[in-house]
Amino acid sequence: MKTVIQRVSKASVTIHKNKVAEIEAGLLILLGIVPEDTQEDIDFLVRKIANLRIFNDENNVMNNSLLNINGEAIVVSQFTLHAATKKGNRPSYIKAAKPEIAIPLYEDFIKTLEKELNKKVQTGTFGADMKVELLNDGPVTIIIDSKNKE
C-alpha cells in the first residue's frame, strides 16, 4: 500500500461538477493498493499518517501531527501510484489491485483512519473521474509505502 500525503490549507474533490469532499487545514491522502495488501498495511499507514509530525507548532517548527492540530483528511483512491514506467512511455498499472480487492481495503483504510482520528474522513469515490483541488501548505508532500517500513 502506497500513499502520497500532502499537507494542505484546503482541498476538495469534485465529480461531474458536484463537490463531494472539502476540507480546510489537514491532509490530502492519495492511496494506492496492490493485491498483497492487508489490514497490517492499513494499520501501519494509519498510525504513521495520524502521528506524522508535519504541522507547524507555535515556533513555526514541524512538530505537530494531524491528531495534535485536530486536522481534517481527504482520502482519494489512486491506482496510478503503482504505475510501472521502466519500459516504454505508456505506464503499466498491472501491479495495482483490481476493484474486487482494492475497494474493501480502501473502505477499511477509511474506517481505520476515522477511528484513529475520532472523526469523519472525507473521500472521493473509488474509480470515479475526480477533479482534486488543493492548496499545498509548505509545500509538504510525503510518500509512504507500507512495504518499506525501515
SS3 annotation, the chain: CEEEEEEEEEEEEEECCEEEEEECCEEEEEEECCCCCCHHHHHHHHHHHHHCCCEECCCCCEEECHHHHCCEEEEEECHHHHCECCCCCCCECCCCCCHHHHHHHHHHHHHHHHHHHCCCCEECCCCCCEEEEEEEEEEEEEEEECCCCC
Q: What is the pLDDT of residue 128?
A: 93
Rounded average pLDDT over 24-41: 97
pLDDT of 150 strictly over 80: no
Whole-number average pLDDT of the chain: 96
pLDDT digits (tens, 9 = 90+) for 35-76: 999 999 999 999 999 999 999 999 999 999 999 999 999 999
What is the domain partition of the chain in residue ranges? Answer: 2-145
Strands 122-123 vs 55-56: parallel, antiparallel or unpaired: unpaired
User: How many CB atoms within 10 Å of residue 32?
Assistant: 23
Catalytic residues: 80
The CATH code of domain 2-145 reads: 3.50.80.10
